């Protein structure tokens, strides 16, 4: 799932919401959109500085002792990178992307041999397998895969985890300011019912599959519908909501939401949780009629340099202690059972982070829709143009 | 022994030919680097885009269904089953944004450039020019974000309007939705590209011969007449260059429409972006749209060049 | 042209009609005086030149009349009306610019028609006037050319026509011939004189070329350092310069400075620091009793001979220092025994055999030189 997260959320919590920091963070995040690829060297220290300067995007990963990782913003941080370096002596250089599609475009344009580790989401894993972009994982070199919850042992997008290792999961839902929103919203339906009050005060994700999926779900259809009639019905319903939608945005809505310019936004759980912890007026929920649940994975692309280091990185992240650290610091729900059990009660009972099973039962993972992709795109063009 | 005149002439012409050849070779050597540059970075990529645009629905990793005009037909041919008027709508909106931005930049930029070039104190001039183009040194993203904080419902603009309404009894100015409207996009684009316009117009106006303005006044022209009949025609090349630059760059910009435009701000550049990096990855359609944009821009340049040169054409 | 009529301020001193008058005009640029307390009266129909070295303020004076500058103090009157604060486009004067300032985006015809067009003159009348103006400057066949297709002399004619077509009360010419080569300049000088006589318009010309000023003008004002040194007819200026500067600037002269030894109503005797005594006829009563004075003697008024001359005037011996052959004349520099050097212009007579170091006598009559205040 595209998690176009701003760097802002964690910094925000640590330092408080100053406008300047917000601008910096957001601008950095959008720089990702604009440039598709924003090089971000998370690790510090003279050794890494050197390699950063010298590291070209293509083939840069061939240097021994350096691991090039291509991931979402905020999917790793200094502490993790430092810990990895301490353990293995390998420097990590992180580039970030803002959407699976951007990452795929880069891979297909021949950028695959620049990175040893990439973090595609579930449906993208499936697509990349079909396109022959992934190397199969040598299970003999993997340690701790059995710590993963059963339901990720044989996921639909990659049966038997042949090509990918689950890293984190989360949901998509609605984040709102409970002081200005009337009643207690529980479903997507709330948006249409209160369209008048919410006029130009909501944003939906700038992601065709998520937003169209949400509307499909509200109509009782599958998030992954391939039926043209259903998709068109969803399009019509989205057009109906159009006057209330201020914008389609996947990140950077926090300031407007906290400031009262927005009442409700569609968001990924990682961003939403950060917002609820930052401002107690914020509330997050996964709509009753169903939403998407997503899994982000670690893969090794075909032609990856320094495969040994890649395996070391995967094993490092499968380590329950490390996985626990990730969840505590970055709010991506861990699929690691041991790590989960070790989490504090407060985190485990945070239903935003770990929704109850009956909620998850109503959610779907986004799956490739084949030929219908073009249809989604056409309707999306119309929605954003109407 | 004397050489016959013919052989002399022959030798002479041979010499001349050799010189001409050398001259030609020299010219070619001089032309080679820019020529090569043009071919490598302009002609070849454009041909590549043209090639891709002629394969309907081409996706990366696929071979496509052979050549055809399907991608263009989808955009332009209303009788095609795949035709969707939304593409023309998007192109229209992009043209509207670009035209509006160009006009706004020209209307606001000309007085500023005029003041800078002809009226501002000479010793302050360089400083003022630098001050005016200073915004160019910041990221355009940052500038867009600054506008968000001004234009949003609880932003500076509405606060100011509210303050005005409070301060002037009897005047009730409505607070409005500014952010996520076409107006916001035009404001953001104009702000982004105004410095370029000012810079180009300034360069043009600075070269303006002041004695021409004095001559016009001397002949009885009012300042207004002088402006329209001398200043504007004299700086027409600068005006054309400024407009061209702003038009092309604002047409290609997608940061501002994305951040300030809200839910209904699809532009051709964003659409192209989506075709290459979005879920459909329809490179064929994306390339066709790119070609449309390239052609539209080329046409603009051609028209303006012709228009700008009309005087010299007329005199020839 | 409609404008508020300011009260006519007649000049009591003179009965003549004045086209341009400057009264106590000063102009400062950032504290620096370009011109200071200038008085100038230019009569109707006159060809008036303002002459001076560069930086003397002559162009500023012209620009004040044209209206491109406003006086810092004083008053500019055109045809008796105070125009000090009237902008250029409302003054009935037209300027021919040094650089011509032709509009290169217009044809010759459109350039000339510009002044009439902005005054909204009817088309047929306008065409007629433009045709006449083109005729006047002999540019009829160039009407549809653009300025950049013209030679310097042709541009000059177009610039003239563009100003003349408006039938101004006063034509201002800023170094009009400065950019032309010598031959063309001579030719244009003749044409300017003809035009002036033909049209009867007042011409005010700024120039640094004394020869041009002398040959074209009815009267000349010589300027120096923002001040007018002397106003007069060409012969007054040349023959009776009132200051050493004018004497030196107009034509060539020898200046000898010294103490006044003796003076009566007829004569003045001067002793230079080198010990040379010079006798001067006191022709004009313009010299008060002076302690020191400057004697100006023109090179052509000095006689050069190899035998001692017989006249009772000023006579000195020396030798030829330099000699320059100028065709009809010889240009000699003579070193006097007392130390001064004099420039002598001698008709070229073949019997003389002057070479450097030749001992010679120089002499002139007291009536051939002038005594000026130092």
Phi, psi for residue C161 in degrees, rounded to 5: -60, -40
Return the structure tokens found at A216.
């499909």
Chain B partners of A246 at a C-beta cutoff of 8 Å?
Answer: 179-180, 262-263
Q: Is C87 on the interface with B (CB under 8 A)?
A: yes
**Strand ordering across the sheet containing C341-347:** C303-305, C359-364, C314-325, C329-336, C341-347
Q: How far apart are CA C44 and CA C200, in angstroms?
A: 8
Domains of chain C, CATH where assigned: 18-92+168-239 (3.40.50.300), 252-373 (2.40.50.140)
Strand partners, C332: C323, C344
- Three-point CA angle A78, B144, B160, nearest 5°: 120
- A89-103, A178-192, B155-169: range with lowest mean pLDDT: B155-169
Q: Is B221 on the interface with C (CB under 8 A)?
A: yes
Close Cβ partners of C252 (under 8 Å, ≥ 6 residues apart): C298, C299, C343, C345
Q: Is A229 on the interface with B (CB under 8 A)?
A: no
Local confidence band at A233 (pLDDT 50, 70, 90 cut-offs): very high
How far is the alpha carbon of C104 from chain B, nearest alpha carbon, in Å?
8
pLDDT at A24: 37
Contact B/C (≥3 CB pairs under 8 Å): yes
Local confidence band at A231 (pLDDT 50, 70, 90 cut-offs): very high
Return the structure tokens found at B264.
């209904």
Phi, psi for residue B125 in degrees, rounded to 5: -55, -50
Same domain, A23 and A158: yes
Chain C partners of B209 at a C-beta cutoff of 8 Å?
Answer: 99, 101
pLDDT at C350: 63
Helix (H, G, I), strand (E, B) or coil at B80: coil
Local confidence band at A204 (pLDDT 50, 70, 90 cut-offs): very high
With beta carbons less than 8 A apart as the criterion, state whether A53 and A79 touch. Answer: no
Local confidence band at C228 (pLDDT 50, 70, 90 cut-offs): very high
Q: Which of B219, B222, B230 has the CB atom closest to C115's CB atom? A: B219
pLDDT at A47: 37
Number of structural domains (chain A) is 2
Q: For chain C, give the percent of residues with pLDDT over 90.
A: 56
Q: Do C89 and B211 touch (CB under 8 A)?
A: no
pLDDT at C286: 54
Q: What is the DSSP track for B6-53?
A: HHHHHHHHHHHHHHHHHHHHHHHHHHHHHHHHHIIIIIHHHHHHHHHH
Please report, to the nearest 10 degrees, the dihedral formed by the alpha carbons of residues A124, A128, A130, A133 taken in order.
Answer: -170
Q: Is B267 on the interface with A (CB under 8 A)?
A: no
Close Cβ partners of B292 (under 8 Å, ≥ 6 residues apart): B72, B75, B91, B268
Side-chain half-sphere CA neighbours of C251 within 13 A: 24
Same domain, A59 and A161: yes
Range of the domain at A245: 171-292+355-383
Looking at residues C279-289, what average pLDDT do you find? 69
| pLDDT tens string B128-141 | 988 888 888 888 88
Looking at residues B198-215, what average pLDDT do you find? 94
pLDDT at B39: 85
Number of residues assigned to chain A:
386
Looking at residues C329-341, what average pLDDT do you find? 89
Answer yes or no: is A301 within a domain: yes
Q: Do C118 and B315 touch (CB under 8 A)?
A: no
pLDDT at A54: 36
- A314-318, B308-312, C115-119: range with lowest mean pLDDT: B308-312
Residue B310 pLDDT exceeds 60: no
pLDDT at B12: 54
| pLDDT tens string C19-70 | 999 999 999 998 889 999 999 999 999 999 999 998 899 999 999 999 999 9
pLDDT at C281: 84
pLDDT: is B262 or B18 the higher one? B262
Q: Is B82 on the interface with A (CB under 8 A)?
A: no
A130 C-beta neighbours (distance < 10 Å), count: 11
pLDDT at B308: 60
Answer yes or no: is A3 within a domain: no
Burial (CB count within 10 angstroms: exposed 0-12, middle 13-18, buried 19+), residue A260: middle
Answer yes or no: is A1 within a domain: no
Local confidence band at B203 (pLDDT 50, 70, 90 cut-offs): very high
Looking at residues B47-64, what average pLDDT do you find? 82
pLDDT at B314: 42
Same domain, A225 and A335: no
What's chain A's average pLDDT? Answer: 83
pLDDT at B171: 63
Same domain, A44 and A159: yes
Q: Do A381 and B266 touch (CB under 8 A)?
A: yes
Return the structure tokens found at B153.
């419902």
Q: Any idea what DSSP says for residue C204?
A: E
- Three-point CA angle C81, C87, C91, nearest 5°: 50
pLDDT at A323: 93
Answer yes or no: is A120 within a domain: yes
| pLDDT tens string C201-218 | 999 999 998 889 999 999
Q: HEC states along chain A?
A: CCCCCCCHHHHHHHHCCCHHHHHHHHHHHHHHHHHCCEEECCCCCHHHHHHHHHCCCCCHHHCCCEEEEEEECCCCCHHHHHHHHHHHCCEEEEEEECCHHHHHHHHHHHHHHHCCEECCEHHHHHHHHHCCCECCCCHHHCCCHHHECHHHCCCCCCHHHCCEEEEEEEEEEEEEECCCCCCCCCCCHHHHHCCCCCCCCEEECCCHHHHHHHHHHHCCCCCCCCCHHHHHHHHHHHHHHHHHEEEECCCCCHHHHHHCCCCEEEEEHHHHHHHHHHCCCEEEECCCCCCEEEEEEEECECCCCCHHHHHHHHHHHHCHHHHHHHHHHHCCECCEHHHHHHCCHHHHCCCCCCCCHHHHHCCECCCCCCCHHHHHHHHHHHHCCC
Same domain, A270 and A359: yes
Mutation target among B118, B209, B219 for the C interface, most CBs of C within 10 A: B219
Q: Is B309 on the interface with C (CB under 8 A)?
A: no
| pLDDT tens string C234-247 | 999 998 898 999 99
What's chain C's average pLDDT? Answer: 88
| pLDDT tens string A133-142 | 999 999 999 9
Residue A300 pLDDT exceeds 60: yes
Same domain, A122 and A54: yes
Same domain, A255 and A336: no
Alpha-helix runs per DSSP H in C107-175: 108-118, 123-136, 152-164
Residue A336 pLDDT exceeds 80: yes
Local confidence band at A30 (pLDDT 50, 70, 90 cut-offs): very low
Q: How far apart are CA B190 and CA B135, in angstroms?
A: 12
What's chain B's average pLDDT? Answer: 84
Residue B17 pLDDT exceeds 80: no
Mutation target among C1, C78, C105, C119 for the B interface, most CBs of B within 10 A: C105
The CATH code of the domain that includes A226 is 3.40.190.10
Answer yes or no: is A23 within a domain: yes
Q: Do C101 and B315 touch (CB under 8 A)?
A: no
Phi, psi for residue C360 in degrees, rounded to 5: -140, 165
Answer yes or no: is A34 within a domain: yes
pLDDT at B10: 52
Same domain, A97 and A182: no
C44 C-beta neighbours (distance < 10 Å), count: 15
Residue A180 pLDDT exceeds 50: yes
pLDDT at B18: 72
Q: How far apart are CA A161 and CA A44, in angstroms?
A: 33
Same domain, A164 and A150: yes
Same domain, A141 and A235: no
Close Cβ partners of B39 (under 8 Å, ≥ 6 residues apart): none
Q: Which of B142, B180, B279 has the CB atom closest to A376's CB atom? A: B279
Q: Is B32 on the interface with A (CB under 8 A)?
A: no
Local confidence band at B175 (pLDDT 50, 70, 90 cut-offs): low
Helix (H, G, I), strand (E, B) or coil at B70: helix
Q: How far apart are CA B111 and CA A354, in angstroms?
A: 60
Q: Is C293 on the interface with B (CB under 8 A)?
A: no
Residue C115 pLDDT exceeds 80: yes
Q: For chain B, give the percent of residues with pLDDT over 90.
A: 36
- A143-152, B99-108, C178-187, C345-354: range with lowest mean pLDDT: C345-354
- A33-47, A51-65, C205-219, C318-332: range with lowest mean pLDDT: A33-47
Answer yes or no: is A140 within a domain: yes
Local confidence band at C9 (pLDDT 50, 70, 90 cut-offs): very low
Report CA-CA distances (Å) from A228 to A211, A220, A373, B114, B279: 16, 15, 11, 58, 17
Report CA-CA distances (Å) from A66 to A143, B167, C302: 21, 63, 99
Looking at residues B179-195, what average pLDDT do you find? 93
Answer yes or no: is A2 within a domain: no
Q: For chain A, give the percent of residues with pLDDT over 70.
A: 83
Chain A: list its partners (3+ Cβ pairs within 8 Å). Answer: B
Same domain, A146 and A264: no
Burial C246-281 (b: 16+ CB within 10 A, else e): bbebbbebbebebebeebeeeebbbebeeebebbbb
Local confidence band at C338 (pLDDT 50, 70, 90 cut-offs): confident
pLDDT at B223: 94
Same domain, A92 and A221: no
């Amino acid at each position: 799932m595209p998690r176009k997260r701003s760097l802002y959320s964690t910094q925000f919590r640590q330092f408080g919401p100053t406008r300047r920091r917000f601008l910096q963070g957001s601008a950095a995040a959008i720089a990702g959109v604009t440039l598709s690829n924003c090089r971000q060297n998370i690790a510090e220290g003279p050794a890494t500085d050197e390699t950063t300067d010298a590291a070209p995007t293509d083939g840069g990963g061939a240097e021994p002792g350096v691991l090039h990782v291509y991931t979402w913003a905020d999917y790793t941080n200094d502490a993790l990178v430092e810990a990895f370096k301490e353990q293995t002596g390998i420097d990590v250089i992180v580039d970030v992307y803002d959407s699976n599609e951007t990452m795929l475009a880069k891979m297909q344009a021949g950028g695959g041999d620049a990175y040893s580790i990439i973090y595609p989401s579930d449906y993208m894993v499936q697509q990349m397998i079909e396109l022959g972009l992934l190397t199969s994982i040598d299970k003999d070199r993997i340690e701790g895969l059995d710590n993963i919850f059963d339901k990720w042992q044989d996921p639909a997008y990659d049966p038997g985890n042949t090509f990918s290792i689950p890293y984190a999961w989360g949901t998509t839902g609605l984040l709102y300011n409970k002081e200005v929103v009337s009643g207690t919203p529980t479903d997507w339906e709330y948006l249409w019912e209160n369209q008048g009050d919410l006029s130009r005060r909501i944003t939906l994700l700038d992601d065709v599959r998520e937003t169209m999926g949400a509307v499909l779900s509200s109509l009782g259809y599958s998030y992954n519908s391939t039926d043209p009639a259903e998709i068109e019905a969803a399009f019509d319903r989205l057009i109906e909501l159009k006057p209330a939608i201020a914008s389609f945005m996947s990140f950077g809505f926090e300031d407007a939401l906290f400031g009262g310019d927005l009442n409700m936004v569609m968001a990924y759980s990682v961003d939403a949780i950060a917002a609820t912890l930052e401002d107690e007026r914020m509330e997050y929920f996964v709509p009753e009629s169903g939403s998407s649940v997503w899994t982000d994975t670690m893969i090794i692309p075909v032609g990856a340099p320094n495969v040994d280091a890649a395996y070391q990185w995967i094993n490092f992240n499968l380590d329950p202690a490390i996985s626990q650290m990730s969840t505590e610091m970055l709010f991506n729900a861990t699929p690691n059972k041991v790590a989960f059990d070790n989490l504090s009660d407060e985190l485990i009972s945070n239903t935003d982070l770990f929704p109850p099973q009956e909620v998850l039962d109503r959610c779907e993972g986004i799956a490739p829709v084949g030929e219908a992709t073009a249809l989604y795109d056409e309707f999306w063009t119309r929605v954003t143009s109407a | 022994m004397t050489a016959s005149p013919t052989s002399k002439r022959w030798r002479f012409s041979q010499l001349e030919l050799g010189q001409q050849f050398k001259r030609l070779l020299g010219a070619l050597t001089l032309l080679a680097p820019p020529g090569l540059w043009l071919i490598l970075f302009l002609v070849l990529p454009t041909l590549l885009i043209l090639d891709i645009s002629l394969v309907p629905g081409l996706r990366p990793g696929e071979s496509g269904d052979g050549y055809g005009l399907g991608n263009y037909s989808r955009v332009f041919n209303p009788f095609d089953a795949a035709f969707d008027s939304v593409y023309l709508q998007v192109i229209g909106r992009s043209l509207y944004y670009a035209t509006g931005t160009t006009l706004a930049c020209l209307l606001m930029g000309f007085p500023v450039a005029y003041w800078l070039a002809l009226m501002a104190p000479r010793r302050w001039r360089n400083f003022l020019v630098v001050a005016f183009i200073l915004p160019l040194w910041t990221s355009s993203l940052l500038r867009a974000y600054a506008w968000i904080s001004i234009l949003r419902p609880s932003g500076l603009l509405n606060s100011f309007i509210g303050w005005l309404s409070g301060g002037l009894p009897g005047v009730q100015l409505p607070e409005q939705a500014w952010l996520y409207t076409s107006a916001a996009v035009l404001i953001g684009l104009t702000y982004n590209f105004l410095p370029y316009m000012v810079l180009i117009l300034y360069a043009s106006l600075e070269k303006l011969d002041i004695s021409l303005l004095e001559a016009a006044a001397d002949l009885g022209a009012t300042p207004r007449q002088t402006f329209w009949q001398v200043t504007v025609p004299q700086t027409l090349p600068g005006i054309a260059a400024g407009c061209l630059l702003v038009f092309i760059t604002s047409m290609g910009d997608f940061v501002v429409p994305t951040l300030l435009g809200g839910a209904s701000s699809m532009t051709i550049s964003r659409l192209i972006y989506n075709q290459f990096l979005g879920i459909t990855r329809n490179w064929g359609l994306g390339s066709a749209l790119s070609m449309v944009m390239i052609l539209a821009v080329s046409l603009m340049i051609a028209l303006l060049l012709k228009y700008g040169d009309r005087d010299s054409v007329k005199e020839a | 042209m409609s404008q508020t009529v300011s009260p006519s301020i007649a000049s009591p001193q003179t009965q003549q009609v004045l086209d341009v008058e400057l009264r106590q005009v000063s102009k400062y640029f950032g504290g620096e005086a370009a011109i200071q307390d200038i008085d100038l009266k230019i009569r109707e129909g006159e060809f008036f030149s303002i002459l001076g070295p560069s930086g003397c303020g002559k162009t500023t004076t012209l620009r004040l009349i044209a209206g491109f500058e406003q006086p810092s103090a004083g008053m500019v009157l055109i045809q008796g009306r105070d125009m000090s604060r009237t902008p250029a486009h409302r003054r009935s004067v037209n300027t021919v610019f040094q650089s011509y300032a032709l509009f290169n985006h217009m044809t010759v015809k459109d350039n000339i028609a510009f002044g009439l067009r902005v005054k909204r003159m009817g088309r047929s009348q306008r065409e007629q006037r433009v045709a006449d103006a083109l005729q006047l400057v002999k540019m009829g066949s160039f009407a549809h050319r653009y300025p950049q297709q013209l030679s310097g002399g042709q541009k000059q004619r177009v610039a003239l026509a563009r100003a003349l077509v408006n039938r101004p009360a006063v034509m201002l010419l800023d170094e009009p011939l400065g950019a032309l080569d010598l031959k063309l300049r001579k030719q244009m000088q003749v044409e300017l004189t003809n035009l002036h006589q033909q049209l009867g318009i007042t011409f005010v010309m700024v120039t640094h070329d004394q020869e041009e000023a002398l040959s074209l003008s009815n009267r000349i004002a010589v300027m120096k350092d923002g001040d007018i040194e002397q106003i007069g007819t060409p012969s007054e200026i040349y023959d009776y310069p009132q200051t050493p500067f004018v004497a030196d600037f107009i034509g060539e002269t020898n200046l000898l400075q010294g103490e006044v030894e003796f003076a009566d109503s007829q004569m003045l005797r001067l002793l230079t620091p080198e010990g040379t005594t010079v006798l001067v006829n006191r022709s004009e009563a313009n010299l008060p009793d002076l302690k020191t004075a400057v004697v100006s003697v023109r090179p052509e008024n000095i006689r050069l001979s190899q035998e001692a001359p017989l006249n009772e005037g000023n006579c000195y011996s020396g030798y030829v220092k330099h000699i320059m052959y100028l065709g009809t004349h010889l240009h000699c520099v003579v070193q006097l025994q007392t130390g001064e050097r004099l420039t002598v212009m001698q008709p070229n007579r073949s019997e003389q055999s002057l070479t450097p170091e030749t001992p010679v006598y120089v002499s002139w009559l007291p009536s051939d030189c002038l005594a000026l205040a130092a």
